[in-house]
């Protein structure tokens, strides 16, 4: 799915509840795609101007043996070099180091990596993957920066001049940062099965046991995922968010998962876009709220990319996307980052 902007907090329709652990109060989440060419300092310089406080590094996948991989190898710790280090790694680690209050999570799945859900079939596979994800969240990522002050350099200077003074114009070690959580971008072109739902529930339950409540876990799903299943019938309108004559195969595909996982996930991202101009996003969010039982955990998605429509693809205006529609008047736009 083409994603440039994701997850706006529903300020009017779903008011956040104060006092919940990791409550979605004022949370604004954006995808942070690693296939885009950022300069080393571009993220840390530009993102603070946005309202986004949580970023999903996109996208990761796992194999049946539990091995994790990530777009552009952005999570692979490079061997230190004074002159050159991979920009994807340097850009996100520098941003997290400079802005420790912002949360950095890793999004696994998405359209490109939808095959990962087939690797959760057995308890043995789920255990390997859960252990790998837990290890990722506990892993220190070294931060290497240029042009620091001598006081900011951690440990010994790694590059010195001829007179043994520290050359701060080259990469020096600044310390370590850690990832804040995992997002499961649970989507497929085909309808998700009840077995796939239960497999992800089992994986998430085990991962929560391993990392406790100090790390964030989130679930991202299709806009119609909590609709009644009979909304697949074009004659049914009540409680249906997607009401085009040709309905979706995804109506209600994650409803049971939402009910059983509401205590596991810190927040739920609903992809309320790519559904046409007649999409009733308020109905979709109400269906999610009924399944989860906690409105403060639900975030509504929006995009300024070109998106699907029944007649033709279109780009929604900011006014129509965020301001004109009732219930979105109090939302804040996440930072727009390049996608594909």
> How does pLDDT run across 50-109, given as a tens digit for each residue?
778 899 999 999 999 999 999 999 999 999 999 999 999 999 999 999 999 999 999 999
Q: Give the pTM.
A: 0.87
Residue-wise pLDDT for 189-247, tens only, equals 999 999 999 999 999 999 999 999 999 999 999 999 999 999 999 999 999 999 999 99
For tokens 């205590």, the residue is: 263
25 pLDDT band (50/70/90 cuts)? Answer: low
Q: Look at residue 340 and tell me whether its pLDDT is greater than 70.
A: no
Query: 48: how many CB neighbours lie within 10 A of its CB?
Result: 14
Residue-wise pLDDT for 259-301, tens only, equals 999 999 999 999 888 888 889 989 999 999 999 999 889 998 8
**What residues contact residue 188 under an 8 Å CB cut-off, 6+ apart?**
114, 117, 196
Residue-wise pLDDT for 133-165, tens only, equals 999 999 999 999 999 999 999 999 999 999 999
pLDDT of residue 251: 96
Question: Measuring CA to CA, which residue among 31, 59, 60 is closest to residue 47?
Answer: 31
Alpha-carbon gap, residue 332 to 103, rounded angstroms: 17
pLDDT of residue 329: 29
Query: 185: how many CB neighbours lie within 10 A of its CB?
Result: 27
324 pLDDT band (50/70/90 cuts)? Answer: very low
User: Quick one: 164 exposed, middle or buried, by C-beta within 10 A (0-12, 13-18, 19+)?
Assistant: exposed
Residue-wise pLDDT for 30-45, tens only, equals 888 876 666 777 777 7
- Cis link prior to 265 (omega < 30° from 0)? no
pLDDT of residue 17: 27
Residue-wise pLDDT for 95-107, tens only, equals 999 999 999 999 9
Choice between 23 and 336, residue whose per-residue pLDDT is larger: 23
> Do the beta carbons of residue 270 and residue 29 sit within 8 Å?
no
**According to the 3-state scheme, what is the secondary structure of the chain?**
CCCCCCCEECCCCCCCCCCCCCCCCCCCEEEEECCCCCCCCHHHHHHHHCCCCEEEEEEEEECCCCCEEEHHHCCCCCCCCCCCCCHHHHHHHHHHHHCCCCEEEEEEECCCCHHHHHHHCCHHHHHHHHHHHHHHHHCCEEEEECCCCHHHCCCCCCCECCCCCECCCCCEEEEEECCCEEEEECCCCCCCCHHHHHHHHHHHHHHHHHHCCCCEEEEEEECCCCCCHHHHCCCCCCCCCCCCCCCCCCCCCCHHHHHHHCCCCCEEEEECCCCCCCCCHHHHHHHHHHHHCCHHHEEECCCCCCECCCCCCECCCHHHHHHCCCCCCCCCCCCCCCCC
Choice between 130 and 36, residue whose per-residue pLDDT is larger: 130
> Do the beta carbons of residue 132 and residue 65 sit within 8 Å?
no
> Do the beta carbons of residue 157 and residue 169 sit within 8 Å?
no
Core vs surface per residue 243-257: b (16+ CB within 10 A) or e: beeebbebbbbbbeb
Alpha-carbon gap, residue 106 to 109, rounded angstroms: 10
Q: What structural domains does the chain harbor?
A: 8-139+178-323 (3.20.20.80), 142-176 (no CATH)
């Amino acid at each position: 799915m083409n994603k440039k902007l994701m997850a706006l907090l529903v300020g009017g329709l779903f008011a956040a509840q104060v006092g919940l652990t990791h409550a979605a109060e004022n949370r604004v989440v954006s995808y942070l795609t690693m296939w885009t060419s950022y300069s080393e300092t571009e993220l840390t310089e530009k993102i603070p101007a946005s309202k986004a406080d949580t970023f999903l590094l996109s996208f990761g996948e796992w194999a049946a043996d539990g091995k994790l991989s990530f777009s552009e190898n952005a999570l692979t710790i490079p061997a230190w070099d004074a002159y050159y280090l991979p920009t994807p790694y340097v850009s996100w680690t520098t941003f997290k180091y400079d802005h420790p209050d912002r949360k950095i999570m890793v999004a696994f799945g998405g359209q490109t990596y939808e095959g990962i859900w087939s690797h959760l079939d057995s308890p043995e596979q789920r255990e390997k993957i859960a252990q790998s994800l837990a290890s990722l969240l506990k892993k220190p990522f070294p931060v290497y920066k240029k042009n620091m002050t001598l006081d900011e350099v951690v440990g010994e200077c790694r590059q010195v001049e001829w007179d043994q003074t520290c050359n701060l114009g080259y990469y020096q070690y600044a310390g370590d940062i850690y990832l804040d959580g995992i997002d499961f971008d649970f989507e497929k072109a085909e309808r998700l099965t009840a077995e796939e739902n239960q497999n992800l529930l089992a994986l998430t339950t085990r991962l929560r046991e391993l990392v406790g409540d100090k790390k964030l876990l989130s679930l991202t799903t299709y806009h119609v995922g909590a609709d009644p299943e009979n909304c697949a019938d074009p004659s049914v309108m009540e409680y249906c968010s997607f009401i085009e004559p040709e309905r979706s195969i995804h109506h209600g595909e994650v409803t049971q998962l939402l009910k059983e996982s509401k205590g596991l996930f810190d927040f739920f991202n609903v992809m309320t876009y790519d559904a046409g101009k007649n999409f009733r996003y308020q109905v979709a969010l109400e269906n999610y709220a009924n399944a989860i039982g906690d409105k403060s955990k639900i975030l509504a998605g929006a995009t300024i990319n070109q998106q699907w429509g029944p007649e033709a693809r279109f780009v929604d205006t900011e006014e129509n996307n965020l301001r004109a529609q009732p219930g979105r008047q109090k939302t804040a736009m996440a930072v727009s980052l390049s996608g594909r």
